[in-house]
């Protein structure tokens, strides 16, 4: 088995969190924030449900991150099932909290991934329009999404990349990708993106595998593939949580290390509001923790 940390080049990370839906989940989130802040991420982001379905929890989480930690905090924003006025009201709330970085997403249709998307009659038609609207509202640092294996609703890869180009042309500063596990797929995608004249950074989304079976179900809904080599890596680990965690950390660290050898030095990690596996991945890569700065999360 290959070992990680073969590349000595420095790299940056950002972390994604989601707003808690129950008191026990809230405690877990803030334990995770406290554990991961020592890795000195470039920023952390907080997800936002389509149509504002997590508006209040998202705002509360963003507020606490800004008020109680030194972490640069990005807030997600979608335009599904929302008028322009409703979206702009959320943006005003974000701005009042001190948010300057927004992750702009169209959002999944209310009826679920794979169903028809219908823009709100008084809303933004797609992410490119949302990005342009955000840029008109203030000097926001805007990130968008990208899909190395194509968004499930895109007709083909060319159409998908054209959608990304529209988002970049509208003012997006970077794209954070859907998770993937085959780095050759990402490299081919990046070549096509650059050939299309898109120059913004394309930041790989890394998903440390908490549960392979659950991941497969989720991946099937969002158009991401799970290579067969992962079945072999996790074989015999179902009833061995410690061994499963070790394999998960090895897989993610090896993926990031390989991407570093290919010249990629920025990573967006989907934490699932859990710290141990993320910690193990970054430890394998030789990243150094830093002393917590003022503003420790309670």
Please tell me the distance from the alpha carbon of residue 139 to that of residue 129, in angstroms, as a whole number.
16
Residue pair 135/142 in contact (Cβ under 8 Å)? The answer is yes
* Contacts (Cβ under 8 Å, ≥6 apart) of 206: 179, 252, 255, 256, 267, 268, 269, 270, 281
Residue pair 19/54 in contact (Cβ under 8 Å)? The answer is yes
Hey, what are 28's tokens? 């877990």
Please tell me the distance from the alpha carbon of residue 115 to that of residue 152, in angstroms, as a whole number.
10
SS3 call for 13: strand
Which of these is catalytic: 9, 16, 67, 149? Answer: 16
Query: Nearest to residue 13, comparing CAs of 259, 262, 291?
Result: 259
Hey, what are 102's tokens? 């927004």
| Chain Cα centroid distance, residue 288 | 22
Please tell me the distance from the alpha carbon of residue 83 to that of residue 160, in angstroms, as a whole number.
25
If one counts every other C-beta atom within 10 angstroms of the C-beta of residue 45, the result is 25
Please tell me the distance from the alpha carbon of residue 231 to that of residue 262, in angstroms, as a whole number.
25
Please tell me the distance from the alpha carbon of residue 164 to that of residue 145, in angstroms, as a whole number.
8
235 is catalytic: no
Residue pair 177/205 in contact (Cβ under 8 Å)? The answer is yes
Please tell me the distance from the alpha carbon of residue 10 to that of residue 220, in angstroms, as a whole number.
33
Which residue reads 């329009």 in tokens? 129
Catalytic residues: 16
């Amino acid at each position: 088995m290959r070992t990680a940390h073969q590349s000595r080049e420095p790299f940056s990370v950002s972390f994604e969190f989601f707003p808690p839906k129950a008191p026990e989940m809230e405690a877990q989130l803030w334990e995770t924030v406290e554990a991961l802040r020592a890795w000195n991420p470039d920023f952390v982001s907080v997800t936002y449900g389509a149509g504002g379905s997590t508006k209040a929890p998202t705002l509360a989480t963003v507020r606490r991150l800004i008020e109680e930690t030194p972490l640069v905090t990005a807030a997600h924003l979608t335009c599904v099932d929302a008028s322009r006025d409703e979206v702009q009201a959320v943006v005003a709330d974000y701005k009042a909290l001190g948010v300057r970085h927004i992750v702009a997403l169209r959002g999944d249709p209310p009826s679920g991934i794979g169903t028809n998307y219908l823009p709100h009659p008084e809303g933004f038609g797609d992410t490119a329009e949302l990005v342009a609207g955000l840029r008109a509202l203030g000097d926001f640092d805007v990130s968008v999404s990208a899909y190395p294996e194509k968004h499930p609703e895109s007709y083909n890869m060319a159409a998908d990349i054209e959608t990304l180009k529209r988002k970049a042309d509208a003012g997006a500063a970077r794209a954070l990708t859907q998770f993937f596990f085959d780095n050759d797929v990402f490299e081919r995608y990046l070549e096509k993106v650059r050939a299309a004249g898109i120059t913004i950074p394309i930041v790989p989304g890394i998903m440390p595998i908490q549960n392979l079976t659950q991941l497969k179900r989720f991946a099937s809904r969002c158009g991401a593939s799970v290579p067969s080599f992962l079945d072999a890596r996790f074989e015999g680990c179902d009833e061995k949580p410690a061994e499963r965690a070790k394999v998960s950390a090895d897989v993610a660290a090896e993926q990031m290390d390989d991407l570093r050898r290919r010249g990629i030095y920025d990573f967006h990690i989907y934490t699932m509001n859990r710290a141990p596996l993320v910690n193990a991945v970054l430890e394998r890569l030789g990243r150094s923790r830093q002393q917590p700065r003022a503003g420790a999360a309670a």
